[in-house]
């Protein structure tokens, strides 16, 4: 069983509705959704659909404690955070994927991700040496150091906030379709107001949103 801490738009945010429909699955309700009429969208979003519409704050990890303790830790962390305005997003190409990325640097986002990575790491289980060797292949020394410390190489100054919309190698036509499809929802101002805890119940299973934890003592809704 693995867990991950993500940013997920509020359930009544048009961006959440657009993103979950684009991927064909709502990870909060567990319902499959009819995606927009974009050629090959189902086959081009297979992995992205399994992980759910999200932006990673702490990447998926095997748990070394238990779920109850993890939820308490997430709540304690969230209580010390304050909501902030999310930078504007745009449809971009990112390492061969289509993704929604922040169009300007955000110290608040970078700080949030770092606090999630460090603050919850005591709940991450260790990794077998043979698995570690597979995961660090191709990483540079800094990436290996971050992987060994936090179980993921793209953290701290290497963190880049993004919500993945495709698997690798999506065609230009799909990129243009995403630009048109998300245009209306991307024009809205939104806040980061909660942490979203996702769980993978078995290897290869869909990640499910099991808790939205409000930041700064805000009331869940």
Residue 13 phi, psi (nearest 5): -80, 130
- pLDDT tens, position by position, 14-25: 999 999 999 999
Average pLDDT on 92-121 reads 95
Average pLDDT on 155-178 reads 95
How high is the pLDDT of residue 127?
A: 86
How high is the pLDDT of residue 220?
A: 45
Average pLDDT on 60-76 reads 96
Percent of residues, the chain, with pLDDT higher than 70 = 98
How high is the pLDDT of residue 221?
A: 41
Average pLDDT on 178-185 reads 96
Residue 192 phi, psi (nearest 5): -90, 110
Distance CA 211, CA 220 (A): 10
How high is the pLDDT of residue 128?
A: 87
Average pLDDT on 168-188 reads 95
- DSSP tag of 209: E
Distance CA 15, CA 2 (A): 26
Average pLDDT on 80-103 reads 95
The residue written with tokens 């779920």 in the block is 67
Distance CA 79, CA 216 (A): 4
Q: Dump the DSSP string for 72-105.
A: HHHHHHHHT---EEPPPEEEEEETTEEEEEESS-
How high is the pLDDT of residue 217?
A: 55
How high is the pLDDT of residue 215?
A: 95
**Mean of the per-residue pLDDT values of the chain:** 94
Domains in the chain with CATH codes: 2-217 (3.90.1140.10)
Average pLDDT on 123-147 reads 92
- pLDDT tens, position by position, 40-53: 999 999 999 999 99
pTM for this predicted structure: 0.93
| pLDDT for residue 1 is more than 60 | yes
């Amino acid at each position: 069983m693995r867990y991950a801490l993500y940013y997920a738009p509020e359930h009544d945010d048009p961006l959440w509705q657009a993103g979950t429909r684009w991927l064909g699955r709502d990870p909060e309700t567990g319902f499959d959704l009819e995606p927009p009429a974009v050629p090959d969208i189902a086959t081009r979003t297979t992995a992205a659909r399994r992980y759910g519409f999200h932006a990673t704050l702490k990447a998926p990890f095997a748990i070394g404690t238990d779920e109850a303790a993890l939820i308490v830790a997430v709540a304690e962390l969230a209580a010390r955070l304050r909501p902030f305005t999310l930078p504007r997003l745009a449809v971009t190409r990112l390492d061969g994927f289509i993704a929604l990325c922040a169009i300007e640097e955000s110290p608040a986002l970078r700080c949030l991700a770092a606090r999630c990575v460090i603050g919850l790491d005591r709940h991450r289980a260790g990794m077998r040496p043979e698995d570690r060797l597979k995961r660090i292949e191709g990483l540079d020394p800094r990436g290996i150091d971050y992987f060994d410390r936090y179980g993921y190489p793209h953290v701290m100054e290497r963190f880049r906030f993004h919500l993945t919309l495709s698997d690798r190698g999506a065609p230009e036509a799909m990129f243009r379709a995403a630009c048109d499809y998300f245009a209306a929802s991307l024009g809205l101002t939104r806040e980061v107001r909660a942490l979203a805890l996702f769980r993978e119940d078995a290897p290869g299973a869909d990640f499910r949103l099991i808790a939205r934890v409000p930041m700064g003592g805000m009331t869940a809704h």
